[in-house]
């Protein structure tokens, strides 16, 4: 796929949170120039919404918007993930391709099939680079995956510090500096020390260690859980309210299930756990992340979390199914659960009010349980 004048081709990909940092490293390793479009913003959303069917899910609209901005910025290729599974993701590729063509955008379109695991990722990188160079491609895969895991860990650290920070915004400021260490590093050998420096940056945040903090898991459709624009910066808002969040679905957990061969893994993956824990309520994969979401509610209760929030795009079929199962789970497991359905119409004020009310409910429940525990102690 090299151009005749040997100029490096520019390959772009849609945003999903911070995933661009890992993609950029992988593409550079195979000698391709990554082109990262501006992070998803209102303009991206309006490009996507204007050129999409109204009822299509939010990730589709945002991805299309990212591609339009990438091509306008000079990308030669736009790369998209696909899966021939039960949800609509399998149809998105051809829709996006034909929409771009109808709009007159001239860029090549390439797909990474998630069902092909590591072999699919290898073939995808070989095709983009125009060379079947196993050493280079395996190095590219290695650094991409390792950066994803490093960022997942930094996200957890951010969540811890943000829920306890003394000056609102400090943890996120430090996290942004931390990400730069990960983004700048070019080799896996240097990644460990870059990670330590990044973590130290976040740990500079001044915190109140004795603060009363709530612990909440976030589950739902993976794009919305991991992309802060599409979830309206939910973790920042919750952090401001003294809530430490944990994403049940991360890019890393997805890689363990879809890309990294099981032979390289010692621990149970998210999907393996989901297949067991979702059992009484859902017995098979119904597409998207529904199986994981159903099991995540049970898991959150088991781990003693104060609550769980389920975020999904409007019209997402798998998540509509899981939301219909939640009332039954709640009868068996007494855990506060909030479901949030997002689209381009979701208003901010009402959204924040729902979060505040949920946090208030969890806090009162927790205090009541603590009091009950103390009373029981006195009786003994
Ligand atoms: S899981 Fe839902 S939101 Fe994600 S691509 Fe499928 S239908 Fe769309």
pLDDT tens track for 104-114: 998 899 998 87
| pLDDT (average), residues 107-128 | 90
Ligand 1 contact, 87 CB (< 6 A): yes
Under a CB-based contact definition with an 8 Å cutoff, are residues 268 and 258 in contact? no
Tokens encoding 325: 């199962």
291 C-alpha to ligand 1 centroid (Å): 13
- Is residue 141 scored above 90 in pLDDT? yes
Q: Is the pLDDT of residue 6 over 70?
A: no
Q: Is 61 in the pocket of ligand 1 (CB under 6 A)?
A: no
Alpha helix locations (H) across 116-214?
117-129, 134-164, 170-184, 188-203
Ligand 1 centre distance from Cα of residue 378 (Å):
51
Instruction: Provide the residue count of the chain.
Output: 380
From the centroid of its chain, how far is CA 54? 24
What 3-state DSSP class applies to 88? coil
Q: What is the pLDDT of residues 312-327, one digit of tens each?
A: 999 999 999 999 999 9
Token pair in block for residue 370: 């603590």
* Atom 3 of ligand 1, nearest CA residue: 316
Answer whether 15's CB lies under 8 Å from 228's CB: no
More confident residue, 180 or 82: 180
* Cα(156)–Cα(168) distance, integer angstroms: 17
| Token reading at 135 | 């050493």
Dihedrals phi, psi of 256, to nearest 5 degrees: -65, -30
Residue with the nearest Cα to atom 2 of ligand 1?
316
Mutate to test the pocket of ligand 1, among 53, 58, 85, 89 (most ligand atoms within 8 A of CB): 89
Q: 117, 259 in Cβ contact below 8 A?
A: yes
pLDDT mean across residues, the chain: 94
Q: How far is the CA of 237 from the centre of ligand 1 (A)?
A: 24
> Distance, CA 59 to ligand 1 centroid (Å)?
7
**Region 212-379: CATH code:** 3.40.50.11900
The ligand 1 atom at the shortest distance from the C-alpha of residue 58 is 3
Distances 100 to 38, 48, 69, 107, 320 between C-alpha atoms, Å: 18, 11, 11, 8, 29
- Strands (E) across the chain are located at 10-12, 33-35, 77-82, 108-113, 214-220, 243-247, 307-313, 337-342
Q: Over the stretch 250-289, which tens digit does the pLDDT of each residue have? A: 999 999 999 999 888 889 999 999 999 999 999 998 989 9
pLDDT of residue 71: 97
Q: The domain 10-132: what is its CATH number? A: 3.40.50
- Phi and psi, residue 209, nearest 5°: -65, -20
87 Cα to the center of ligand 1, angstroms: 6
- Amino acid 4: pLDDT: 47
């Amino acid at each position: 796929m090299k151009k005749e004048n040997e100029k490096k081709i520019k390959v772009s990909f849609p945003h999903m949170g911070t995933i661009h940092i890992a993609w950029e490293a992988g593409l550079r390793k195979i000698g391709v120039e990554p082109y990262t479009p501006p992070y998803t913003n209102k303009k991206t959303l309006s490009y996507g919404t204007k050129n999409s069917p109204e009822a299509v899910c939010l990730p589709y609209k945002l991805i299309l918007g990212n591609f339009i901005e990438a091509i306008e910025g000079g990308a030669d290729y736009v790369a998209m993930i696909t899966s021939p599974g039960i949800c609509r993701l399998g149809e998105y590729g051809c829709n996006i391709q034909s929409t771009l063509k109808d709009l007159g955008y001239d860029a090549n379109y390439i797909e990474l099939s998630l069902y092909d695991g590591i072999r699919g990722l290898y073939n995808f990188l070989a095709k983009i680079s125009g060379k079947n160079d196993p050493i280079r491609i395996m190095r590219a895969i290695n650094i991409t995956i390792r950066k994803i895991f490093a960022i997942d860990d930094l996200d957890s650290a951010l969540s811890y510090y943000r829920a306890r920070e003394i000056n609102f915004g400090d943890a996120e400021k430090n996290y942004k500096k931390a990400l730069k260490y990960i983004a700048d590093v070019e080799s896996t050998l240097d990644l460990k020390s870059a990670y330590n420096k990044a973590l130290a940056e976040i740990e500079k945040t001044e915190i109140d260690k004795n603060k009363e903090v709530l612990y909440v898991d976030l589950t739902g459709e993976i794009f919305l859980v991991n992309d802060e624009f599409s979830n309206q910066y939910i973790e920042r808002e919750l952090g401001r309210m003294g809530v430490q969040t944990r994403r049940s679905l991360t890019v890393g957990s997805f890689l363990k299930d879809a890309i990294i061969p099981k032979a390289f893994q010692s621990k149970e993956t998210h999907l393996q756990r989901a297949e067991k824990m979702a059992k009484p309520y859902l017995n098979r994969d119904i597409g998207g992340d529904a199986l994981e979401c159903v099991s995540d509610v049970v898991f959150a209760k088991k781990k003693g979390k104060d609550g769980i929030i389920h975020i999904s795009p409007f019209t997402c079929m798998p998540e509509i199914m899981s939301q219909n199962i939640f009332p039954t789970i709640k009868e068996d497991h007494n855990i506060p659960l909030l479901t949030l359905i997002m689209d381009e119409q979701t208003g901010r004020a009402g959204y924040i009010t729902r979060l505040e009310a949920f946090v208030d409910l969890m806090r009162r429940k927790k205090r009541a349980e603590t009091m009950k525990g103390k009373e029981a102690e006195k009786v003994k």
